[in-house]
Structure 1
């Protein structure tokens, strides 16, 4: 399957088969990472986080988010999970940086930036196969923040970018950053593996307990490998970065070939795209949704986007992240990358 057809297939499938597609407004933009750098404040690079307000410097897997959170920024009010990615910055010709704001996806215009989250139990026109929803304490990571080559990034089959010609563009996905200004912004696409070993809720690298299908892709119905036989929903983030105010060619690198955007860990290639997840649905709400073959799932408790926008958490790391900066948070001036 070509990169450009993946998101289109997922959206088309919603008219025939169930998926959960919903908005999660921005909860925080901070140098925190309780998955990779638990207990560290600040963590090495900046993240943007959505979901339940139990997100913290450390998150004990024995204390599930639903028991710790008082609210969530997500449309489904029983989803106290946390979803996060690196943050996109624009690098000017003089070497200064400016954070790129996020904007809501189509249909979620009232959201405060954030992400669109998908949980898909299956794809195709055949009878659905059973998927096992994530269990309390489950967490995972996809992508490597230090990858800088196409060969490395190809290990992760579905971490891509869409150069939005319009807000509805869903074709032309690439593994690296777009090389020309995108009229409606850049969408980063983060798709997680869909097979689980059935035993471990986490692993030392936060990836080994999950796997991609043995052949093909989730969308093509590829079988899970024997080492990871349990089918889990496909978790998928869409994050739209409003790069439009940086679209003037006069602001782009003078060489006419390079592009000016860089992830907050210092990656200007785009190959270091990555996403983190800590499961936090209340009780068996997600399993019921996956079993019931529903789109909007009226049996799930929901809230308005405006209510989700009101969910907040206290600031743990106080530092300047906006305006024109000499260096991105956690980086030294003139030094990029970790």
Structure 2
């Protein structure tokens, strides 16, 4: 079970300076149907994504992403990586859909435009386990979870969880493996923890996951030793996305059925297909410097050792909109689903 932020900070302060952990905000850079990892080149991917990070985000992305783009929505101005997840929608009893907006974490600066919380930690929140942490390399990418996985996928990926924000945005437990069964007073948080053991050779793999291996029992917990097949310990990457579901509290179906659905269209009323994508894009050796340091959270800002920027600068950054479609207001279908239904009727 994940500790609250205040508990984490207090515990970290008591430990010798061998730890390094980044926790920072990245505002929305775009919301559109693009996926340069799973569907490279497709202008109009299968489902809608909530994307943060560098403004070079595009249908196809190759090379050193840290040298592409002109700005980033992240606190650290050297981080041009892209981080993205499926978008959450509310499904009305009349069959229409409305996009659920995201909101910034209250442990981070106020005013971030649709912020996502990004973490790079070492073995856990409190110690690097005296291991060398090797930063991701230019060209590196990976995914966690899959829109086609069932509940057994969440048994395997214990870092894919949901938290009903019952006591404000700082609620951090209990963590569950599916949508909450009742309205959440302050919103819903989705959590995506990526594996941290690398094979040391491949920047990607056909399934975008096999080059990595997970040894963590759950969330922000100490991972076991990396296996010989994946011997390189990399940062523990995690996303927290806070969805502002409170808008829909009074629209909850009277039969008690779950009204939320992710943009990939799981019509079973479950969230087992939750997933996230990552494309590394830190400039130069900036991330390695951070992992080699003893800074924690906002103490890493202001050149100690990472350069940082204001919320206003973060919010000005946007990626080019390549897929022209309406994603706001009440929609008759999930974005991309009308086209999918049409194409399914074609004869080839």
TM-score by length of structure 1 reads: 0.91
Of 306, 321, 328, the match for 1:315? 321
Residues 178 and 260 of structure 1: CA distance in aligned 2, closer, same or farther (over 3 Å): same
Partners of 1:98 and 1:216 in 2: how far apart? 32
Matched, 1:184 2:186: yes
Post-superposition shift, 1:219?
A: 1.7
- Listed as ranges, the matches of 1:1-338 within 5 Å are 4-5=1-2, 14-15=12-13, 16=15, 17-60=19-62, 63-106=63-106, 107-123=108-124, 124=126, 128-147=130-149, 149-165=150-166, 166-213=168-215, 219-248=221-250, 251-256=251-256, 258-267=257-266, 268-295=269-296, 296-297=299-300, 298-332=304-338
Post-superposition shift, 1:146?
A: 1.4
Cα-to-partner distance string for 1:141-193 (whole Å, 9 max, x where unaligned): 0001112x322321212100000011111110011011110011000000000
Cα-to-partner distance string for 1:79-125 (whole Å, 9 max, x where unaligned): 00000000000000101000001111013321001301000022345
Post-superposition shift, 1:14?
A: 4.5
Q: Is the 8 A contact 2:55 2:72 kept in 1?
A: yes
Q: Is the 8 A contact 2:142 2:204 kept in 1?
A: yes
Query: CA RMSD for the aligned pairs?
Result: 2.1
Residues 265 and 229 of structure 1: CA distance in aligned 2, closer, same or farther (over 3 Å): same
Q: Is the 8 A contact 1:23 1:305 kept in 2?
A: no
List runs of 5+ in structure 1 lacking aligned partners: none
Partners of 1:308 and 1:29 in 2: how far apart? 16
Q: Is the 8 A contact 1:64 1:280 kept in 2?
A: yes
Partners of 1:102 and 1:325 in 2: how far apart? 18
**Count of matched residue positions in the alignment of Structure 1 and Structure 2:** 327
Residues 212 and 6 of structure 1: CA distance in aligned 2, closer, same or farther (over 3 Å): farther
Partners of 1:45 and 1:26 in 2: how far apart? 17
Partners of 2:294 and 2:25 in 1: how far apart? 19
Cα-to-partner distance string for 1:267-324 (whole Å, 9 max, x where unaligned): 2311111000000000000001001121222221110111111011221000011100
Q: Is the 8 A contact 2:20 2:290 kept in 1?
A: no
Residues 334 and 230 of structure 1: CA distance in aligned 2, closer, same or farther (over 3 Å): closer
Residues 197 and 13 of structure 1: CA distance in aligned 2, closer, same or farther (over 3 Å): farther
Post-superposition shift, 1:129?
A: 1.5
Cα-to-partner distance string for 1:238-272 (whole Å, 9 max, x where unaligned): 10000001011xx222322x110000001231111
Residues 316 and 214 of structure 1: CA distance in aligned 2, closer, same or farther (over 3 Å): closer
